[in-house]
Each structure stands twice: as structure tokens, then as C-alpha cells.
Amino acid sequence: MGEVGPPDTRMARHKHRWLRWVSRLFFNCVLAWVVITGGLVVSLRWLDPPTSAFMVLARRVTPQMQVEYRWVSWDRVSPHLPAAVVAAEDQRFVMHHGFDLYAIRDALDEVRAGGRLRGASTISQQVAKNLFLWPARSYLRKGLEAYFTVLIEFFWTKRRILEVYLNIVEFGPGIFGAAAASQRYFHRPSDRLTESQAALLAAVLPSPHVFNLDAPSPSLESRAARIQEQMRRLTGTRYLRLI
């Protein structure tokens, strides 16, 4: 027996059911997304990632490029390298919870003063982007980056964040992580990097496809020297005791 009642009432009922179905579907999709991504982030606190989104993208964009990547644990990386990376990329790494509000404020002040917008990403944000997302700037990517950053900061320790970053960050075209970069540019394992070599590696991070560690330019060497100065101001490798 069909539905009874005025046509307007039947249409209202159908619309209500349709909206309820759409709402339930949307809620289930969001719940599934949170469970899947949350579970992935939690698992990577203990499991070492076999690859990253940026490595996959590098293989697809440039198929002829050979991606070099080999995971090494925290105790097999020279302490000079994490100290150099923190000095170069995120000096408030141990103090913030994923977002450096001071750096964001300074960047916005520069824009208001007529300057160009510069990056204010923390190491945690860069891990989120490199591991799960893509490089092109968009509101969608920034939103997802913020989401994954919150998960990473909540479920991982600071040491784990830095350990993953050192292993997946690109130091040159197709050269991902401390182990590959140490062998490629200095012909030594990552636990034998000197302070100056670590500073040179950290110096290329803003533009690993522009700077060339095979023949460091004066500007790159100057940047590396400034990083070494910042390392000493941060008490060098003793800074790592805080994480």
C-alpha cells in the first residue's frame, strides 16, 4: 500500500529521508577517514615507513630518476644532523605542538609590510606533508597538512618525529633520508657525519633541487656556516637531550 497524505507531505517525507541518508553517509565517511588515517599514524609511531608520498610522486613524475632511500634508526644518525636540521628549519621544535605561532605571526607581518609570503612550516608539518601529501600549495593540502600534523604531534614523540623527518626528507633529486645523502655526498655512513657536513645537508633543505652538494656554491656554504653558528647558540647536540 502506497504512502497516503497530501503530495506536499509526501515530498517532505522523501526529502527528510534523503537528507538523513546523505547525513548518515557523510558521517560514516568521515568516521572511516578518521579511523583509517588515525590508525596509520599510530602504527607509524613504531613501524618504519617503507616509502613516502614524495618518493612515490618522484617516481611517477620522473620515471627515469632512481630514488635512493634506506631507513636508519635514530642511534645510527650522527647527532650533528638532527641538531643542524633543527637549527636550520625549526628552532622552537621542542617547544611547540606542531605549529610555530611566532613564525606564523612574523610571516604575516612581513606580508602586511609589503613583503612576499614565506613559509613558516615546522618539522612536524613537513613530516605530514612529505609522508602523506603532495607539494603543490592549496587550501585543501594545507588543511590536510594541519590535520595530519595534529595526529602526529598527539601520537608520536618529538624524537620519533625528528627520526622520521631525517629519513624521508629529500636532500637532492631522488636522494631521500640521511643514509642515502651521507653515502651519496660524503661517502660515509650517516653516523659518521661531521658538524660541517651535517650543516651542509641541512642547508639544502629549502631547495634540494636547486642547491648542489656535489659542488657547493658560495651561497650554500655561507648558509651552512650560519647554520653552524645557530647550532652552537642552541648548545649543539646537547639540545637533543630535550627530546
- Please provide the DSSP assignment of 39-88 as one string: HHHHHTTTSPPS--HHHHHHHHH-TTS--EE----GGGS-THHHHHHHHH
Q: Between these two residues, 117 and 225, which has the higher pLDDT value?
A: 225
Q: For 113, what's the count of Cα atoms within 13 Å in the CB-facing half-sphere?
A: 8
User: What is the band of 1 on the pLDDT scale with cuts at 50, 70, 90?
Assistant: very low
| Cell numbers that stand for 188 in this block | 660515509
The pLDDT of residue 8: 62
Does the structure show a pLDDT above 70 at 210?
yes
Nearest C-alpha neighbor of 164 from the set 239, 65, 53: 53
Most distant CA pair in the chain, distance? 85
| Cell numbers that stand for 174 in this block | 631522488
Judged by average pLDDT, the poorest of 43-52, 130-139, 161-170 is 130-139
Q: What are phi and psi of 175, to 5 degrees?
A: -105, 100
The pLDDT of residue 225: 97
pLDDT by residue (tens digit) across 47-82?
Answer: 999 999 999 999 998 888 899 999 999 999 999 999
The structure's pTM equals 0.88
The pLDDT of residue 57: 94
Burial 53-86 (b: 16+ CB within 10 A, else e): bbbeebeeeeeeeebbbebbebeebbbbbbbbbb
CA angle in degrees (0–180, nearest 5) for 224-200-78: 120
Nearest C-alpha neighbor of 135 from the set 198, 219, 209: 209
